[in-house]
Amino acid sequence: MNNKKYKKSNATIEDFDHLGFFQSIPKSLSESIKNLSTIHNFYPGELIINQGMDFSSTYMVLRGQVYVFTTSYGGRNYVLAKLDPGDWFNVITCCNDAECNPASVSAESPVTLLVFSCQDFRNLYDNKPLFALRVMQNISNRSTRLMQKLENLALLTVSGRLAKFIIDHANEEGVIYWRCTYNDIAKRIGTVAEVVGRTLRQFADEDLIILPEKKCIVIKDLEGLRKKALH
C-alpha cells in the first residue's frame, strides 16, 4: 500500500454479507476471499492510493465512500468517481500490470476496505469464475456512469452540469442535505469553487433554488432546473 496510516480492522467479510457481491456465493469462494484478503480502515481525507506511484493492491469498498481523482500539473484535482460499498478499484491496473497508479483515491468518510495483493487477486480472478463475473459486473456498471460523466463534461456548460448535479442528488422532496463544500462540488463537475458559488446564487436569483442558511439546497422550480441541465 501507498499509505502508512491505515489500520487493520477486526471486521470479517461475514460482517458485510449484506453487500450484493457476497450474496449467494459458495462457501468455498467465501473462504478463499477470507484467506487471501485483509480488511483495513482509513480515516476521512486519508490518501489510499497516490497517482503515479507504484501499485501493489486491489480494493473493494466495504463501508463508507471514497473519491477517485486525478491531479493536473497545476495542482487542481478533478474527481472521476465517488465509490460506494460494493465498488472495486485498482482492478484494471492490477490485471494489466500497469507501471503505476493512473489516479489517486482518498477516503471521503471513515472507510473500510477489502484488500488483496495483485497476485492473490489475479489467482482468484483466474480460478473462480463467479468472483471474476461479479468484479466485472461492478466495473461495467461504473464504466457506464463514467461515460455519462464524460459526455456531460463535453456537451454541457458549467451551469448545465451544476443543475444536473442538483437534480441527481436531491431527495424526493427536492432537497440536498450535504456536508461537502463548493470546492467538493467543483471537483465533481469539473470547475472551481468560485464558479459553483456564483452559479448557485444565479440559480437562486432566478427562483430555481433556495439557499437557506443551513447547508442544503432546496429545488424551487424543478422544470426550470431541468431546462438548465440540458445546456
pLDDT in tens, 71-119: 777 777 777 788 999 999 988 888 777 667 778 999 988 999 999 999 9
* Whole-prediction pTM: 0.67
> Is domain 156-228 annotated with CATH 1.10.10.10?
yes
Whose cell is 449484506? That residue is 18
Q: Which helix (H) or strand (E) holds 182?
A: helix 182-189
Retrieve residue 21's grid coordinates.
Answer: 457481491
pLDDT digits (tens, 9 = 90+) for 123-167: 999 999 999 999 998 888 776 666 666 666 666 788 888 888 888
Give ranges for CATH 1.10.10.10 in the chain. 156-228
Q: Are 61 and 105 in contact (CB under 8 A)?
A: no
Retrieve residue 193's grid coordinates.
Answer: 469553487
Give ranges for CATH 2.60.120.10 in the chain. 7-146
Q: The CATH number of 7-146 is which of 2.60.120.260, 2.60.120.10, 1.25.40.10, 3.90.870.10? A: 2.60.120.10
Computed from CA positions of residues 109, 114, 115, 121, in that sequence, does the dihedral angle turn out positive or negative? negative
